[in-house]
Chain A
């Protein structure tokens, strides 16, 4: 059911969701529970396997850890505990821990919102949705090329790597590093040449530099119902946490 909702509606609903989440005070624990329940129930209704959402979530974990993990140690305030590692003395503060929790929970919930959006919306619909929401057409076009050619470029790289390892006697690692650097260079030149051919193909079918979007999509009643109910859920969750 979520899959059939207009992509514009999903974009707005999920962007609003993220906005609600990031403006929630860190101590509003009940709000975070309600957000999580809303998103998880939407994921369940949309039949997105929770394991899939979980793996996507794990992908963002390193970023959160790198940014957030130092905060409890460097933020000043009341000390929750301290450790001595030889000459190094580390202390964790309550305010630092709270900030870390704030970053961790908000990023996790926001990522889940985006997982819900991308897992239930075909990429071409998402692009059309972005386009009719007023996202610059040039950006939409760039995203569409990225989506179309990403795998092709990575296939190219894989073939080059295979050709390289077929001739690589093994051993000295810096040879591999050098070969890889060369490969990246070649890949860039190939991609550039492909881009030129694509441009010719576009021109030969009348492309004149302007970007024309396809006809607009029509909103249905179900889309409005979805938008309103998701907004109410997120709003209520936000309200539970106070201002």
Chain B
């Protein structure tokens, strides 16, 4: 079925152990090859939602990825289907060398060793860091760390890439480069971010979360261009849209 959603979230709610209700009856459907921006103020539940996509957190309600219900039995398939790029690359790059980091997921996906080498090389070429295999993440620049983080996920060839604040702490040059890189990646992309200009550049659709609830879901221009909606949720109409609207 071509129009079956690749991600189907129904009535998802989640409470942290300290009682904070991070997600409250969230329902979202995302289709193949869509690029969706998840925006919202601090504490809206954006990161929590991403952690549900590959079963790292499990709330009440249902999450289906590529037709598979996320439960305790299919974690390996789910985690190969959804690649998660964390906000802080220092958390994502935890082994002594770049090679080990990129190969980590492949080892656990039980990919045979000769193919691991080929896929690590492919993933590093895709982010423009071929030849960095034996470098230590500690000695890379922040932009390079971000790219390697992306490569660790690309190596798994996931159908869905979910990114948490992909452009935070990047200098403008590295930011543009990283956005171009993301644009060249195939597959469904979900970006949780405060960088609304990034959303305008990358995503056709926006989901606005606030207080754990979906407040709005629609086209990027329609939602991010709605000044009163944005301001109600401590956001601002991004500059690129304001210029386009001639405001």
Contacts and interface: CB of A to CB of B under 8 A. Distances in A.
Interface in A169-215: 194, 197-198, 200-208, 212, 214-215
B54 A204 contact: yes
Contact of B96 (A148, A205, A212): A148
A210 B245 CA distance: 55
B67 to A, nearest CB: 20
A206 B84 CA distance: 11
Given A127-B96, A206-B79, A215-B113, A148 B137 contact: yes
A205 B76 contact: no
A124 B56 contact: no
Interface stretch (B17-25, B102-110, B167-175): B102-110
A206 B77 CA distance: 9
Contacts of B137: 148
B217 interface: no
Given A152-B90, A200-B56, A201-B86, A206 B96 contact: no
B91 A198 contact: yes
B80 interface: yes
Chain A interface mostly helix, strand, loop or mixed?
helix
B100 interface: yes
B91 A206 contact: no
A124 B91 contact: no
A145 interface: yes
B138 A151 contact: yes
Contact of A124 (B97, B104, B113): B97
B156 interface: yes
Interface in A143-171: 144-145, 147-149, 151-152
A144 B137 CA distance: 12
Contacts, number: 78
Nearest to A202: B94
A145 to B, nearest CB: 7
B165 interface: no
Contacts of B156: 205-206
Given A148-B137, A207-B108, A124 B100 contact: yes
Interface string B98-135: 00100111011100010000000000000000000010
Contacts of B219: none
B152 interface: yes
B96 A197 contact: no
Contacts of A122: 134
Given A124-B97, A198-B94, A214-B107, A205 B152 contact: yes
Given A124-B100, A151-B138, A206-B80, A212 B108 contact: yes
A70 interface: no
B80 A197 contact: no
B139 to A, nearest CB: 10
Interface of B: 51, 54, 56, 75-76, 79-80, 82-84, 86, 88, 90-97, 100, 103-105, 107-109, 113, 134, 136-138, 152-153, 156
8 closest A-B pairs by beta carbon, nearest first, are A206-B108, A205-B105, A124-B96, A197-B91, A204-B84, A215-B113, A212-B107, A201-B92
15 contacts: A122-B134, A123-B96, A124-B96, A197-B88, A200-B51, A200-B91, A201-B91, A202-B94, A204-B82, A204-B86, A205-B105, A205-B152, A206-B76, A207-B104, A215-B113
